[in-house]
Amino acid sequence: MKVFKNNQLKLNNSVVSIGAFDGIHLGHQALIRKAKMRADDHGVPLVVYTFDPPPKAFFQHQMVLTPISEKIQYLQELGCSYTVIASFDQEYASRSVTDFVEELALLHPLEIWVGPDFHFGKGKSGSITNLEKAFTAFQHPVVTCEEGNVISSTRIRNLLLQNKLDKAQSLLGRASSS
Ligand SMILES: Cc1cc2nc3c(=O)[nH]c(=O)nc-3n(C[C@H](O)[C@H](O)[C@H](O)COP(=O)(O)O)c2cc1C
Ligand SMILES: Nc1ncnc2c1ncn2[C@@H]1O[C@H](COP(=O)(O)OP(=O)(O)OP(=O)(O)O)[C@@H](O)[C@H]1O
């Protein structure tokens, strides 16, 4: 797997998945596996576009579940061909929806895959609707735990803060390093 900073990778075709992916929990894994399957179907590389630090760590000082080196390792294990890592700071966060869409266009995505309630761009003003105008974009259904509750990085952070390690690890799908 090759790692690039944002705006540095140009491809003739790809399948792209986008997100903070902090923890690479079971929901993230399902989304990335689906994107990988579609990339393999098309015979094109899978690109995961992610952010360092995760936007919620930047804006809300939330605990980081997977440092970037660990995230890269998990993405490699999931079969990504390329990871794009955007350095997330105030300047990056002020970029518009159009700027981001133009950057994605450099990857010539045949498909883009995101999860439920994905937003991007200054003030989180962009959604899957903006992606659909420019690309073929899909929303993966929400992945829940056995009890039917949504799996999220926030939920896992809270479980770790409450020392509920077993449950956190079951949602991560592996032992936690935090
Ligand atoms: C170009 C760009 C600008 C963003 N600006 C903001 C922002 O102003 N405020 C914010 O809370 N998040 C911002 N984000 C982060 C998104 O809200 C979101 O966290 C990111 O797209 C990853 O999606 P995910 O959190 O569903 O994984 C921005 C994201 C991108 C790509
Ligand atoms: N449970 C889930 N099922 C399917 N897709 C998901 C799930 N959780 C997140 N995703 C998707 O994975 C990508 C990365 O999401 P993100 O990093 O915001 O995860 P999160 O668990 O919602 O994090 P946080 O709780 O910090 O907001 C996004 O496209 C998001 O829609």
Note down pLDDT in tens along the chain; length 178 residues: 999 999 999 999 999 999 999 999 999 999 999 999 999 999 999 999 999 999 999 999 999 999 999 999 999 999 999 999 999 999 999 999 999 999 999 999 999 999 999 999 999 999 999 999 999 999 999 999 999 999 999 999 999 999 999 999 999 998 766 5
Residue 58, ligand 1, Cβ within 6 A: no
Nearest to 157 by CA among 167, 149, 148: 167
Nearest atom within ligand 2 for CA of residue 113: 29
Q: The pTM is what?
A: 0.97
Compute φ and ψ for 101, nearest 5 degrees. -60, -40
Residue 17's φ and ψ, nearest 5 degrees, are -125, 145
CA distances from 93 to 53, 97, 121, 124, 127 (A): 12, 10, 7, 9, 15
Query: Which atom of ligand 1 lies closest to the CA of 114?
Result: 26
Asked if ipTM goes beyond 0.95, one says: yes
Residue 178 is predicted with a pLDDT of 55
53-82 per-residue burial string, b: 16 or more CB within 10 A, e: under 16 = bbbbbbeeebbbbbebeebbebbeebebbb
Closest atom of ligand 1 relative to the 99 alpha carbon: 1
User: Closest ligand 1 atom, CA of 115?
Assistant: 26
pLDDT number for residue 174 = 83
Distances (CA, A) of 71 to 41, 46, 146, 177: 25, 16, 25, 12
109 CB under 6 A from ligand 2?
A: no
59 Cβ closer than 6 Å to some ligand 1 atom: yes
pLDDT number for residue 176? 62
Q: What is the C-alpha separation between 27 and 160, in angstroms, rounded? A: 17
**Contact 65 CB / ligand 1 (< 6 Å):** no
Please tell me the distance between residue 48's alpha carbon and the centre of ligand 2 in angstroms: 13
pLDDT, position 165: 96
Q: Could you tell me the two tokens for 111? A: 């498909």
Q: Which helix (H) or strand (E) holds 96?
A: none
Distance (Å, rounded) from C-alpha 158 to C-alpha 62?
A: 10
Q: How far is the CA of 8 from the centre of ligand 2 (A)?
A: 25
CA of 115 to the centre of ligand 2 (A): 6
